[in-house]
Structure 1
Amino acid sequence: MLMKRHNPSPRGRLPARPPADSSARGGRGGAEPPPASPPGDARPRGGRPAGHRRVPHTADLRIEAWGPTRERCLAEAVRGLVSSFADTAGVRPRRTVAVELPPGPAEDALVTVLEEVIYRLEVDGEITLDAEVAEPPGGGPVARLTVGDAAEATGVGAAPKAVSLHGLRFDRDAEGWSCTVTIDV
Structure 2
Amino acid sequence: MERRPARGHRMVPHTADVRIEAWAPDREGCVAEAVTALVDTFVDPAGATPEADVEFHVPPGADEDLLVGVLDEVIFRMETEETLPLATEVRPADDGGLTVRWRATGTDAVELVGAVPKAVSLHELRFGADEGRWSCAVTLDV
Q: 123, 132, 135: which is aligned to 1:178?
A: 135
Residue segments in structure 1 that go unaligned for 5+ positions in a row? 1-27, 29-33, 36-47
Runs of at least 5 residues in structure 2 that lack an aligned partner in the other structure? none
Residue 121 of structure 1, CA deviation:
0.9
Deviations 1:30-78 (A, max 9, x none): xxxx56xxxxxxxxxxxx6010000100010000000000000000000
- The answer to whether the 8 A contact 1:99-1:113 is kept is no
Alignment correspondent of 1:58: 15
**What CA deviation, in whole Å up to 9, does each residue of 1:68-119 have, x standing for no partner?**
0000000000000001110111222111111212223110111011011011
The correspondence for 1:110, drawn from 54, 67, 71, is 67
Residues 146-178 of structure 1 show CA distances to partners (whole Å, capped at 9, x for unaligned) of 110110100111111100010111010232100
Greater relative contact order (Cα < 8 A, sep 6+): 2
TM score, norm. by length of structure 1: 0.72
Q: Do the aligned partners of residues 103 and 156 (structure 1) sit closer, same or farther apart at CA in structure 2, a change above 3 Å counting?
A: same
Note if 1:146 corresponds to 2:131.
no
Runs of 4 or more, structure 1, over 4 Å off, are 136-139
Largest Rg, 1 or 2: 1
The alignment's C-alpha RMSD in Å is: 1.6
Indicate conservation of the 8 Å contact 1:50/1:68, yes or no.
yes
SS of residue matched to 2:59 = coil
Q: When you count strand as a share of all residues, which structure comes out higher?
A: 2
Q: Normalized per residue, which structure has more helix?
A: 2
Partner of 2:84: 127
The equivalent position to 1:159 in structure 2, one of 106, 116, 125, is 116
Distance in 1, matches of 2:69 and 2:97, equals 13
Moved more, 85-94 or 59-68: 85-94
C-alpha contact (below 8 Å) 1:64/1:179 kept by paired residues: yes
Identity %: 50
Secondary structure, aligned partner of 1:93: coil
1:93 is aligned to: 50
Greater mean deviation of Cα atoms: 105-114 or 87-96 = 87-96
Q: In 2, are the aligned partners of 1:68 and 1:177 still within 8 Å (CA)?
A: yes
> TM-score, length-normalised on structure 2?
0.92
